Amino acid sequence: MARIAYVNGRYLPLTDATVNIEDRGYQFGDGIYEVFYAYRGRLMDETLHFARLERSRGEIGLASPMGAAALRVVIHELMRRNRVETGLVYLQLTRGVAKRDHVFPGPVPRPALTITVRPKPEPPEALDGWSAGAITLADERWGRCDIKSINLLPNVLAREAAKQAVALEAILFDKAGMVTEGASSSVWIVGADNVLRTRGLDQHVLPGCTRAAVLEDVATEGLDFREEAFSLEALRQAREVFITSATSFVKPITALDGVPVGNGAPGLIANRLYARYLARLKEG
């Protein structure tokens, strides 16, 4: 079956789904995006993702193409047309088409909204086989990583460097040697003190929706937790490292720069939080 995309009000076969060469997303990366995981027809952490979309939109002064309710209808219609119940929904919103000039165009063009969906398998029941390796890399991104901007070249280069090293993710650190986040994930560690840590939110990290949801699970589990920055050194010494995102769920990192993390197997805390994640997924 041909894949169908949503492009500015129309449902089109992917081969016909094109955007204008003067779209500011293409010219300047002047846009934002969201990625949802759909599970059996439901969007996981939907409220969090729509809230972040609104926030990103506001931060770059982008007009709204439609309300959240209408957007939900479009997403579900696109899933239906593609016969995808479990998969990824990618939504991109740009400032639209205008004569190339850096400043915001006036009159304000219609923002360009495109959405694609593709199937993704359900998460495995157990963490075995779901873990991955990561590399560490200097964070060379811009100063507003809290905006889910489509300017992803540094993230692309970081993930490619990970792939070249036969790893999945690149864990980034700033000039002070403190871990920021993964190239496309939030990063968590469990130290020798058994305390679970993830960095607090600031403009250097994306407020992960999965991170926000997992934080509630952390409280439910009664885990010893601190929301604070940790160093590259602490990452290397950690008993457990795991990442979270809409696409990786809760994913243990069992090797860092080729060196095993802890005993090289998914840890206890990651297992507990993964079980919680699966439970939330299934409960809806």
In contact, 92 and 149? CB cutoff 8 Å:
no
CA 267 – CA 264 distance, rounded (Å): 9
210 in contact with ligand PLP (CB under 6 A): yes
Q: How far apart are CA 4 and CA 151, in angstroms?
A: 25
Catalytic-labelled residue, pool 148, 163, 175, 282 = 148
**Are the C-beta atoms of 91 and 34 separated by less than 8 Å?**
yes
Please identify, using beta-carbon distances, which residue of 22 and 146 lies nearer to ligand PLP. Answer: 146
Which of 211, 242, 255, 277: binder of ligand PLP (CB under 6 A)? 211
Rounded to a whole number of angstroms, the minimum distance from the CB of residue 78 to ligand PLP is 19
Min CB(33)–ligand PLP separation in Å: 9
For the bound state, the minimum distance from the C-beta of residue 107 to ligand PLP, rounded and expressed in Å, comes to 33
Q: How many residues lie near ligand PLP (CB under 6 A)?
A: 13
Distance of closest approach, residue 246 Cβ to ligand PLP, in angstroms: 4
Dist CA 115 CA 111 (whole Å) = 13
Q: Is residue 96 at the binding interface for ligand PLP, with CB under 6 A as the rule?
A: no
90 membership: H or E segment, kind and range: strand 87-94
Catalytic-residue membership of 148: yes
Q: Is 35 in the site for ligand PLP (CB under 6 A)?
A: yes
Residue 209 in the binding site for ligand PLP (CB under 6 A): yes
**Subset of residues 240 to 279 that bind ligand PLP, contact rule: CB under 6 A:** 244-246
Residue 78: closest CA among 25, 46, 87: 87
Q: How is residue 98 written in tokens? A: 């205008």
Beta-carbon contacts of residue 183 (< 8 Å; ≥ 6 apart): 137, 154, 155, 158, 159, 162, 169, 170, 172
Q: For binding to ligand PLP (CB under 6 A), which residues are involved?
A: 35, 181, 184-186, 206, 208-211, 244-246
Residues acting as catalytic residues: 148
